[in-house]
Amino acid sequence: MHSLLLTHLLSRLHAPAGEDGADTAGADTAPAREDDDSYMSLSLAERQRLRGDTGDEPADSLNPEALAALVARSEEEEGDNAHQGASPGIPRSRLNEVTQQRREAEQRAQAMEADNARLRAQLAELAAGRPPSAQAPAAAAAPAFDVDEAEEQYAELLMEGDTKAAAAVRRQINQAIEVSAFNRMALSTASQQSQQVAIQTVDDLLEQHPWLGTEDGQEALDLIEASAFMKVQQGMPLAEALRDATLRIAPRFAPPAGGGQGGGQSVDIRAQRAIERGAAHSLMQPANTAAGMGNRATPPNVDTSKLSDDEYMALPEAERRKARGD
C-alpha cells in the first residue's frame, strides 16, 4: 500500500499543471499556474510559500529522485517478504540433475533399441545362410548401460519421493535385462544353426568324395580345414567355407579314375598304396651279409694269401682252419 501511494504521488508530481482537473500542491496556486511568466517573476520565498514549503524538511525531500528511491526500496522489501513466506520446494540444482539423468537414460534406451534391431537383422541373415552385412561404423559409440548404477539411481529417486522418475529408471533396467537375455539367446541359436548346417555340409562332401575319409585323404583334409578356418575369420559362414575349400583342394588329391570295379568312380586304394610303399622301403634296405640269407645264398670265398697277419688273425677260427686245410 505504501509503494502504491508513493508511485501515485510520483506520477502526480511529474504530471503537467491542470491534468486530472486539479493540482494538489496548494489551493492558491491556480492563478500562478495559469500564467507561468507571472509565477517565475515572484521571489523565491513567495514561490516557496505558494508551493507549501514550510522549511521543516529539506527542499529536495520530494524531488523525483528521492521518491524513485523510496519506491524501489519498498518493492525490494515486498519481494523479500514474498520469498520468505514461500513454501520450500525442490532445489534448482537437484531438479537439473534429475532432468539430466533422465535425458541420459532415454538416450541409452534408444541406443539399446537400435542395437536390438541390428541383432535381429543379423540373426535373420544367419538363419537364411548368408553372412551378416557390414554395418557402417557409428559416429560416436553410445555409452553402455550400467545396471548397478541405474539401481542406485532408482533407490535415490524412491527416497526423494520422485516416483515418476524412479518408474522410468526401472523400465530402463528391465529393458536392459531383456535385451541382454535376448542377445545371449540369439547368439546361442545362431551358433547351433551354424553347426547343424556345417555338419550336414560335411556329410554331403564326404558322400561326394569318400576317399577323404581314408588315410590317404588325411593331407587333403588338413588343407581343407586350414583353408576353411581362414575363410571363417574373414567373415564367411562355416558351411560355405567348407564347401568352397573342398571344391578347390579335393580335386588336386583325388586318386586316378578308372582301373577298378567302381566304373570310373573313386575306389579304396589303400591296399595298393601299402604294397607300393613296402616295395619302395625294401629297395632302400641294405642286403644281409650272413651266408645263406637274402641275395647271398653262397658263402663268400676269402683269399688268405692276400691278407696281412692282422687281417688273418681277425678271421673266425673256422675260416682259419679252412684256409689251413684242417
Asked if residue 110 belongs to a domain, the reply is: yes
Asked if residue 266 belongs to a domain, the reply is: no
Give the cell for residue 62.
Answer: 520530494
**More confident site: 93 or 324:** 324
Interval 261-295: pLDDT, tens:
444 455 566 777 788 777 777 666 665 655 555 55
Angle formed by the axes of helices 238-253 and 163-208, nearest 10°? 20
Asked if residue 268 belongs to a domain, the reply is: no
Question: Which of the given ranges, 88-97, 135-144, 150-159, has the highest pLDDT on average?
Answer: 150-159
Once rounded to an integer, what is the mean pLDDT over residues 74-94?
57
**More confident site: 17 or 92:** 92
Is the C-alpha dihedral spanning 124, 130, 136, 137 positive or negative?
Answer: positive
Output the 3-class SS for 121-168: HHHHHHHCCCCCCCCCCCCCCCCCCCHHHHHHHHHHHHHHCCHHHHHH
Asked if residue 39 belongs to a domain, the reply is: no
pLDDT tier, 61 (very low <50, low <70, confident <90, very high otherwise)? very low
Task: Give CA–CA dist 229/236, Å, rounded.
Answer: 9
pTM for this one? 0.31
Query: What angle (nearest 5°) sits at the alpha carbon of residue 28, between those of residues 24 and 29?
Result: 65
pLDDT tier, 21 (very low <50, low <70, confident <90, very high otherwise)? very low
Interval 181-206: pLDDT, tens:
888 888 888 778 777 888 888 888 88
Residues sharing a CB contact under 8 Å with residue 107, sequence separation 6 or more, in sequence order: 142
Give the cell for residue 89.
Answer: 520446494
Asked if residue 263 belongs to a domain, the reply is: no
Give the domain extent around 186.
Answer: 145-193
Total tally of structural domains belonging to the chain = 3
Asked if residue 232 belongs to a domain, the reply is: yes
Neighbours of 244 (CB within 10 A): 15
CB 172 within 8 A of CB 145: yes
Asked if residue 102 belongs to a domain, the reply is: yes
Asked if residue 149 belongs to a domain, the reply is: yes
Estimate to the nearest angstrom the gap between the alpha carbon of 302 and the chain centroid.
Answer: 90
The partner residues of 296 in beta bridges, in order of sequence, read 293
Regarding whether 187 and 149 lie in a shared domain, the answer is: yes
